[in-house]
Amino acid sequence: MFSKKSVRLAGFVFIKSRLKWPIPVIKYPNDCQCAVLKRSHSSWTGHKQQTHSEGKSRGVHIYSVRHVSSSTLDPAEVRKFQVLATKWWDIQGECAPLHAMNELRVPFIRDNLLTVHGGGKLGRPLAGLRILDVGCGGGLLTEPLGRMGAEVLGIDPVEVSVRTAEMHSSLDPALRERVRYRACTMEELTEEEGNEEAFDAIVASEVLEHLADLDTFVHCCYRMLKPGGSLFVTSISRTQLSYILGIVMAEQVLRIIPRGTHEWDKFISPVELETLLESSGISVQSVRGMLYNPLSRCWSWQQSTAVNYALHAIKQKEEQPHQTPAED
Ligand SMILES: C[S@@+](CC[C@H](N)C(=O)[O-])C[C@H]1O[C@@H](n2cnc3c(N)ncnc32)[C@H](O)[C@@H]1O
């Protein structure tokens, strides 16, 4: 009925009508190697590190403890997720890509934790570990971590998401003892007594791109992780390809996720994240690229980290000061 040419033309006009031009140009701060990247009004600026006043004293690395004064909370992001709050467990709906991502992220977290901590009990490989799932939403990742035997605390600033998560996990008796949820932010949790160096692992999956202040996020991770504890992040890189695939295709053309879910300015590349983490005493162990195929609705590991990626980092253990041999 239609010629191939007219179908192609219609497709082009359809896509073009949904594209936001121009495709953003990436600007990195000049001193990217030594700068900590801080988000201000949804753009990135380079500034010298202020959060952890890093110092060296007699061979001991000191990342000084300060009280958390900034907030990771962006009220506009909270409003976005309030709308989504009852849809977390609709596996065909807007959260389908997050459900599908469990195929990669759950084994990524499990295998790296097993490498660091050794094997747990049969069938419960993460038994004995305390995990904090930051920005847990409806508990899509929190639950499988609990099922593997970990004691998991899921936190999210959107109260109605936390209620959804609680209700869903209460349906599984195996999770009741192991999974807890709270409506709060990282910075509130960090200031509470008993949370200093309390967690074997912190997970922030698809969360960094929604935070107002990454510097505060990393600082809180540092304080709440045990020395040698693991940080797991999945996020979206800030590249032109991620703009085309992550925003134009996913939100505007294919409408896999709601329009306006992501702001490209808030994406962070693994290199930028590594710079930030390393300067804060959290050392990156591995980074793997990921890609979502909207036709098969599956994720796969990729060589390239230009769009989505998973990262594993470890909080450095403080070096012991060198003992000077006692003089005779
Ligand atoms: C894309 S969802 C990811 C949910 C969950 N991690 C998953 O992968 O299934 C992002 C989540 O981050 C939460 N969020 C937004 N701002 C946050 C903040 N400042 N601190 C912690 N979580 C936040 C949102 O409420 C939302 O639940």
Q: Dump pLDDT digits (tens) for 143-174.
A: 999 999 999 999 999 999 999 999 999 999 98
Atom of ligand 1 nearest to the CA of 137: 27
Q: pLDDT band for position 284 (50/70/90)? A: very high
Token digits of residue 196? 């200093």
Structure confidence at residue 29 (pLDDT): 39
Distance 121 CA to ligand 1 centre (A): 30
**Domain 65-315: homologous superfamily in CATH:** Vaccinia Virus protein VP39 (3.40.50.150)
Atom of ligand 1 nearest to the CA of 95: 9
- 68-86: string of b/e by CB count within 10 Å (b at 16+)? beebbbbeebbebbeebbe
Q: pLDDT band for position 320 (50/70/90)? A: low
- Asked if residue 81 has its Cβ within 6 Å of ligand 1, the reply is yes
Residue nearest to atom 9 of ligand 1 (CA): 140
Q: Is 35 helix (H, G, I), strand (E, B) or coil?
A: coil
Q: pLDDT band for position 13 (50/70/90)? A: very low
Structure confidence at residue 44 (pLDDT): 34
Backbone angles phi, psi at 211, to 5 degrees: -90, 150
Distances from the Cα of 308 to the Cα of 205, 256, 287, angstroms: 11, 15, 10
Residue nearest to atom 3 of ligand 1 (CA): 206
Structure confidence by residue, pLDDT tens digits, 42-84: 333 333 333 333 333 333 343 434 455 579 999 988 998 998 8
Strands 151-155, 179-182: pairing kind: parallel
* Burial of residue 166 (number of CB atoms within 10 Å: 0-12, 13-18, 19+): middle
Cβ atoms within 10 Å of 189's Cβ, excluding its own: 20
Structure confidence at residue 131 (pLDDT): 98
Which residues contribute to the annotated binding site? 105, 135, 156, 205-206, 209-210
Of 32 and 164, the one with more pLDDT: 164
Distance 280 CA to ligand 1 centre (A): 22
Cis peptide before 22, with omega less than 30 degrees from 0? yes
Query: With contact defined as beta carbons under 8 Å apart, do 194 and 223 qualify?
Result: no
- 266-301: string of b/e by CB count within 10 Å (b at 16+)? bbbbbebbbbbbebbbbebeebbbbebeeeeeebee
Structure confidence by residue, pLDDT tens digits, 221-261: 999 999 999 999 999 998 888 888 888 788 888 888 888 88
Atom of ligand 1 nearest to the CA of 101: 8
* One-letter amino acid for residue 67 of the chain: H
The yes-or-no verdict on residue 30 having pLDDT over 80 is no
Residue 185 DSSP one-character state:
-
Distance 47 CA to ligand 1 centre (A): 26
- Asked if residue 232 has its Cβ within 6 Å of ligand 1, the reply is no
- Asked if residue 77 has its Cβ within 6 Å of ligand 1, the reply is yes
Structure confidence at residue 222 (pLDDT): 97
- Asked if residue 141 has its Cβ within 6 Å of ligand 1, the reply is yes
* Backbone CA torsion sign across 186, 191, 197, 199: negative
- Asked if residue 169 has its Cβ within 6 Å of ligand 1, the reply is no
Per-domain boundaries in the chain: 65-315
Distance 199 CA to ligand 1 centre (A): 19
The yes-or-no verdict on residue 307 having pLDDT over 90 is yes
Cβ atoms within 10 Å of 226's Cβ, excluding its own: 15
In angstroms, the CA 182 to CA 134 distance is 10
- Asked if residue 135 has its Cβ within 6 Å of ligand 1, the reply is yes
* One-letter amino acid for residue 86 of the chain: T
Residue nearest to atom 18 of ligand 1 (CA): 73
Token digits of residue 23? 């495709």
Distance 136 CA to ligand 1 centre (A): 6
Average pLDDT value for residue range 26-43: 38
- Asked if residue 310 has its Cβ within 6 Å of ligand 1, the reply is no
Share of the chain above pLDDT 90, in %: 60
Residue nearest to atom 14 of ligand 1 (CA): 135
Atom of ligand 1 nearest to the CA of 140: 9
In angstroms, the CA 260 to CA 251 distance is 7
Query: With contact defined as beta carbons under 8 Å apart, do 301 and 288 qualify?
Result: yes
Which residues contribute to the annotated binding site for Mg(2+)? 206, 209-210
Structure confidence by residue, pLDDT tens digits, 88-107: 999 999 999 999 999 999 99
Strand partners, 116: none
Strand partners, 235: 309
In angstroms, the CA 78 to CA 193 distance is 26
Distance 137 CA to ligand 1 centre (A): 5
Radius of gyration of the chain (CA): 21
Average pLDDT value for residue range 121-140: 94
